[in-house]
Amino acid sequence: MRSSPRAIAERIADTFEPLMRPHFTEGNRIRLLASAQPYFQALIAAIAAARRVVHLETYIFADDRRGRSIVDALTDAAGRGVQVRVLIDGFGGGEFARQLAARLPAVGAQVRLYRPQRWWQPRRGLLRRLHRKLVVIDDQLAYLGGINVNDDPERDEFTGEMIGPRFDVAVECEGPIVAAISYAVRRLWWAVAMANRGYVSEPMPRRVRPALFAQDGVRAALVLRDNLRHRHSIERSYLSSFRSARRQILVASAYFLPGRRFRSALVRAVRRGVRVNLLLQGRMEYRLQHYAQRALYGQFLDAGIEIHEYRRSYLHAKVAVVDEDWATVGSSNIDPLSLLLAREANVVVRGRAFSGELRALIESAIQTDSRQLHAADYARRSPVARVMDWIAYGLVRAATLVLARGNNY
């Protein structure tokens, strides 16, 4: 079968990516941004200070207060002569992304859509989405995490209850790791242009020179997931840390539907005496996902894994801490969409101070805003609830297999 322009572009771009494993660099400054408010404050200030280039990637770019504030910041930057590039997922971005693609070029900004596709077009490859949230400023500063460009909800969609802001996390990065993040966004920008047009006049992007490292910085690595050379990179980074865990594994994931290897690694860790705590979605956000992940809770509880359901608002973080000096923050959930299909980006940090700060954040959410699910409570579910959980689980797995097929772009 002849390859499509999308598949060709993707193969060319990723062929020139030599890093098959996370490449750690020393001397990075990684600042934790816990929740959307400090993240957008920092991001808007960074865009306002940009002098050469702003490159933003996101899954959702909403037509709301935060979305319009970012549009205004990008418009001002383009007006100062800054090169502004915005890449939005064609499915997650919705109609507003298409409007931006038509509007922003008039002020000097460039917008591209990743696999433009609407919800009523369930073609093969529908679930191969751009789920990364990356921003690079002047090749010196980068932002990475799970926070989309949209407002926090004010109410629970199903109960109508007033809720707080999403529990979400991002990081601000300085140092040598920014060069890897910059190269990743430039490479995908080039590949999308090739896919959409069939040709690109601009040359294949080259790596930028890494920034000088800070003496008080930490070891950190960018870990990507794509559909070619990095299919399992993020999952492997988790599994490697689980195998070496000696005291504690702490995972917070908005959508938690891990495969067999991931589940087995957690169970084996418990058998070695490691305490495993999972902070998972307590409120129903998407019905199918909610019921599907609950089908697996019995296995975790029987193994001695602690499950805490976040109740204050919606959980959207994708973070983990293992022992005292391994931590990850990123866009990747622990589910088939993130681990098998979507383009994702995580940062892995080796450092006691950062790991301790992230651990304290997760443990605070567990202690004050969550409810522990005990094995006895889970066992008391009705037969109807149990059947619904496993039906939902089967549907999610089947949809993944059917809609995942398609080219590798």
Show which residues are catalytic: 131, 133, 138, 316, 318, 323
Count Cα atoms within 13 angstroms, Cβ side, for 368. Answer: 7
Dihedral pair phi/psi, residue 340, rounded to 5°: -125, -20
What gap in Å lies between CA 33 and CA 143, rounded to an integer? 10
Number of H helices, E strands in the chain: 13, 15
Dihedral pair phi/psi, residue 72, rounded to 5°: -60, -45
Provide, for the chain, the percentages of residues in helix, strand and coil under a 3-state DSSP scheme, each rounded to the nearest 5. 40, 25, 35
Longest CA pairwise span in the chain (Å)? 63
Only one residue has tokens 């005990």, namely 374
Only one residue has tokens 């997931």, namely 225
Residue 288 near residue 258 (C-beta atoms within 8 A): no
Q: Is the dihedral of CA 86, 91, 92, 98 positive or negative?
A: positive
273 φψ region: left (φ > 0), alpha (ψ -120 to 50), beta (else): left
Residue 56 three-state SS:
strand
What gap in Å lies between CA 148 and CA 63, rounded to an integer? 12
